[in-house]
Amino acid sequence: MLRNYFKTGFRNLTRQKVYSAINIAGLAAGIAACILIFLYVKDELSYDRHHAKADRIYRVTRDFVSNDGSVSLHLGHVAPPFGPLLEQDFPQIASIARLLQTDLLIENVEKQKTFHEERVMFAEPALFDIFDIPILEGSRERALKEPFTMLLSDKLVEKYFLNEEPVGKLLKVTDAATARVTGVFQSLPENSHFHPDILVSFNTLNDTAVYGAENLKTNWGNNSFGTYMVLTSEQEAKNMQAQLPAFMDRHLSGTDHAGDRKPSDFSRLYLQKLTDIHLRSHLDSEMETNGDINTVMILSAVAFVILLIACINYINLSTARSMSRAKEVGVRKVVGAGKEDLVLQFLSESILIAFIATILAVGLTELCLPWLNEFTGKNIASNIFTDKWLLGLTLLLPFLIGGLAGLYPAFYLSRFRPATVLKGSLSSSSKNPMLRKSLVVVQFSISIVLIIATGIMFRQLIYMQNKDLGFEADNVVILPTFTALTPKFEAFKAELKKSAQVEGVGRSLLIPSDRLLNSMGASVEKGDSMAPTSVTIKFVNVDHDLLDVFKVKLAAGRNFDRTRPTDDTAAFIINNVAAKMIGWQDPQEAIDQVFEYGGVKGRVIGVTEDFHFESLHDEISPMVYRLSAPDDYSNIAVRINGNTREAVAHIEQVWQQFLPGYPFEYSFLDQQFAQTYKAERDKGVIFMIFSCIAILIACLGLFGLASYTTVQRTKEIGIRKVFGASVMRIVTLLSKDFLKLVLVANLLAWPIAWFAMRRWLEDFAYRIEIGTDIFVLAAMLALIISLVTISYQAVKAASANPVKSLRTE
């Protein structure tokens, strides 16, 4: 019986080639988009779940609370003393390990190869008790136990030891120290929230030349240490979280950080589930850039609505063609077919179409997956036979889509009365146009929402990229700095400035586009004493030239001056935001005021105009700039002019002259700033692509409906032409009903799009206003696309010979 159903269904497909092609194409595009999104979402949800103890692994995070009760900073890293003290106080901790992420110059002295490694982590041996990190070479028991030992990832071994045994070899890690390679570990999979290339024993930090054992015990201010633990059971997390405030009061009371408040009033610890980090953690410091659960949810919704649009196409075309199938239903009922038989027949046809579409969709997925991987930076595979989830989805989709999309048409067609049908007296009311119109409105409403969302996303992105930052980010080359360069930096700078291509050179701890995480206590003079201010002021260490290199404007006062020795130790430059929040409304009022920051007393010598140091996601923070020791800088900024290629070549030549053997690495400041908006740019592109797919599918359905409607009205068109109707009049007659539906779709889509995008824009401190023009443009675009889709069939029908039209049965 089923074989007969499918055979009959296949004959109907071949008989109605145009409608079958439209149905299959629409479903194939929708299913392909759905599978691609499924693969992306599945990968995002899989992060860190490959560890056997993932459900019991937690990260310790720390926040800081201002005097007004607001959280000024929430970090994914904590100070080094917390790890041992937590293990000491909480028996429910089965294992705990600290990580310190850094970058190092690693040199193979024997091979004379030097590389700048950015994924180096000092790690405690318990790391291997927490995370599943296979050791490929060397002893797991002895890994990371001894100071100045390291493990290399399998991806890095060939870089340093081509076709050689790495275990036992020495690598130079500082100017004076070497570390012995004791093993090789398997690189963490891509769906991990951190990816070390080198693991150095944590005991190495006990050396005073590296960090110092005393610092590890007493430095509560350096919140740079990732701290992970495995609890004895998942239920212990809540109990432990409740005890953390008392833990803070117990161990931080009497420290310099406490002040007049209890430690738990100004700083708090939290336990964060490992599997929540990638999608639900966007703290002020993270190991790597995380994903976003909102993006996952939005894309899942987009996949659903695209599939819905494709299913609506099938329902619309099936019910629109009901008149051509009516006699078939009548004859089948006369010869004994029951309603159940007819329902099964039509459902079989629907599943057959969905099955063919799914096969095509799998092929489309394979074609598009390399683009998705390149775009997202992932390495998603789509082996349908080894991935049980993908295989299950692929097998389920034809029955799910075919069943759901075909259910209504099957019941609708099977209810026709044979006597009415065979007499040819099936009324026009049986054609159920209201349902089809409603479904067309739903299709285009979804498409228009996606068009508006895409437009607003790109407008916000363009706004952020073009907004005046308050300083000149163009033509600034950023270089890393190394200890070996510190004593000869002035000579290095002088050599750079010999070229007319170089305008200025400066150094800083941070550069614009970096996150401002560091702050210290500030006090201002009130009467005869210093009074602490409640303002959280972030600091940046700069040299005398940096503000000039960035062309930062001063609102009042002066820049740092080498001829004034007091500037080195007792001078501060603040930004206008800081001045106003302290209480100096006029920038000039702040000049020469006594100011204490981080325990150092001096005077304010300048106030800068406000500029965006961080991205436009964040409001401009109160900032203070101060001179620092020569070895307390991380970046060199070089302002160039003229030919960029010549300027970079000159900088590289000077670099090799002063730092022979050191890798020459550089970036452009404006490009680094643009990179902070990569997430928005990617979302915009994804929405644009899926909007196009949604519109394409909707237009396929509209084309099919227009085609069928035109066929149904062939005789009417012929009569109108005989009575003198022009081609334009007939095209207008056939198009206006569909265009009315698109206008109604706009009216429904506008409030939904406005509300959704207003919520999205709230994540930006500096954002565009949603104007009416974007809605008008979306409406015009939808109308034009619809008109073009409909016009082909309308013009074709209007241009036909009326004699042939009148002969049509």
Residue-wise pLDDT tens digits, 182-199: 999 999 999 999 999 999
What span, in angstroms and rounded, lies between the C-alpha atoms of 34 and 303? 5
Q: Is 677 helix (H, G, I), strand (E, B) or coil?
A: coil
DSSP per-residue string spanning 489-511: HHHHHHHHTTSTTEEEEEEESS-
More confidently predicted of 388 and 493: 493
pLDDT more than 70, % of the chain: 87
What DSSP character marks residue 488? G
16-20, 322-326, 405-409: segment of lowest average pLDDT? 322-326
Across the range 344-364, mean pLDDT stands at 83
The dihedral built from the CA positions of residue 610, 614, 616 and 621, taken in this order, carries a sign that is negative
Helices (DSSP H) in 196-276: which residue ranges? 213-218, 236-252, 263-266
Q: What does the pLDDT read at residue 255? A: 52
Q: What does the pLDDT read at residue 697? A: 82
Confidence band for 100, pLDDT divided at 50, 70 and 90: very high
Q: Is the pLDDT of residue 146 over 60?
A: yes
pTM of the model: 0.84
CA 659 to chain centre: 37
Q: What is the 3-state secondary structure (H, E, C) of 173-192?
A: CCCCCEEEEEEEECCCCCCC
Q: 217-276 pLDDT, tens per residue?
A: 999 989 999 999 999 988 899 999 999 999 999 998 765 444 567 888 889 999 999 999
Place of tokens 């070089």: 638
Q: What does the pLDDT read at residue 9? A: 58
Q: What does the pLDDT read at residue 419? A: 53
DSSP per-residue string spanning 253-296: TTSTTTTTS-HHHHEEEEEEEGGGHHHH---SB-SS----HHHH
Q: What does the pLDDT read at residue 237? A: 93
Q: 440-454 pLDDT, tens per residue?
A: 888 889 889 988 988
Q: 703-718 pLDDT, tens per residue?
A: 777 776 776 677 777 7
Q: 107-121 pLDDT, tens per residue?
A: 887 777 888 899 999
**Pairs from 337-340 (Cβ < 8 Å, separation ≥ 24):** 339/414, 339/415
CB 165 within 8 A of CB 136: no
Cα 203 to Cα 140, 344, 771: the distances in Å are: 16, 72, 59
More confidently predicted of 394 and 156: 156
Q: What does the pLDDT read at residue 716? A: 74
